[in-house]
């Protein structure tokens, strides 16, 4: 997580990755999407990184989540040449896979990920599965006004972690094979 003392100079990352959330009708950002991108813009403006990587494809309503976040970041003073877009992912796992490829192409390994607090553990785990040890920063605010809705988000995340563990095994085995490591646990 980020340092606790606001007077201290920020730790500098190569990039801030912002996970998408719903886009509402007429291309309007949902409150979660708006909270996430505005938090990332604040971090960028405070010197935590020089680039944003926004990720998220088209959900129920167009355009892609990444396009909406890019538009908001530019509207809040971030130059478009400092914003990278990944606009194909439709899940957290896909975002991690696709973003990790983009990050590796640029040689970036110091990554700060922005999403909601309830979403951070699974997101950081997904990036770890893909080979990046990212640090997380939770967007301020509550993901929902109603208590039952917040419980729903936390419960959904708890159920999603075992699913990610199952998805992680093939990815981890593929990474080991590519690195030339043995894939069995047996010792010679």
- The pLDDT > 90 percentage for the chain reads 61
Mean of pLDDT over the chain: 85
Average pLDDT score over residue span 79-96: 96
What share of the chain in percent tops pLDDT 70?
77
Residue 119, in any domain of the structure: yes
**Mean pLDDT along residues 48-58:** 98
Specify the pTM: 0.82
Question: Per the domain annotation, does 64 fall within a domain?
Answer: yes
DSSP β-ladder status, 83-86 and 52-55: parallel
pLDDT top residue among 118 and 88: 88
Domain total in the chain: 1
pLDDT band at 44 (very low <50, low <70, confident <90, very high): very high
The pLDDT of residue 162 is 76
CATH code where residue 23 lies:
3.40.50.620
- Residue 181's pLDDT band (boundaries 50, 70, 90)? low
What's the pLDDT band for 185 if we cut at 50, 70, 90?
very low
pLDDT for 39: 97
Residue 2 forms part of a structural domain? no
SS3 23: strand
Q: Residue 67: which pLDDT band, with cuts at 50, 70 and 90? A: very high
Instruction: Give me the domain span that covers residue 56.
Output: 15-179
113/131 Cα distance (integer angstroms): 14
Residue 106 resides in a domain = yes
186 found inside a domain: no
Angle made by CA atoms 13, 3, 12, in degrees to the nearest 5: 15
| 3-class secondary structure, 41 | helix
Flag whether 173 is in a domain. yes
Answer whether 68's CB lies under 8 Å from 24's CB. no
60 belongs to a structural domain: yes
Alpha helices in the chain (DSSP H): 31-45, 65-75, 92-106, 120-129, 147-179
String of DSSP letters for 116-138: -GGGHHHHHHHHHHTT---EEEE
């Amino acid at each position: 997580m980020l340092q606790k003392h606001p007077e201290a100079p920020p730790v500098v990352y190569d990039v801030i990755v912002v996970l998408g959330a719903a886009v509402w009708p007429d291309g309007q950002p949902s409150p979660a999407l708006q909270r996430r991108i505005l938090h990332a813009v604040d971090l960028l403006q405070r010197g935590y990184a020089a680039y944003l990587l926004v990720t998220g494809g088209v959900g129920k309503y167009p355009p892609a989540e990444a396009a909406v976040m890019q538009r908001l970041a530019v509207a809040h003073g971030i130059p478009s040449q400092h914003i990278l877009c990944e606009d194909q992912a439709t899940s957290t796992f896909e975002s991690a896979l696709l973003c990790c490829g983009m990050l590796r192409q640029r040689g970036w390994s110091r990554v700060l990920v922005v999403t909601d607090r309830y979403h951070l553990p699974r997101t950081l785990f997904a990036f770890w599965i893909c080979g990046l040890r990212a640090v997380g920063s939770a967007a301020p605010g509550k993901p929902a006004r109603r208590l039952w809705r917040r419980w729903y988000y936390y419960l959904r995340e708890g159920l999603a972690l075992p699913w990610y563990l199952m998805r992680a095994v093939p990815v981890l085995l593929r990474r080991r094979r590519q690195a030339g490591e043995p894939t069995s646990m047996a010792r010679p």
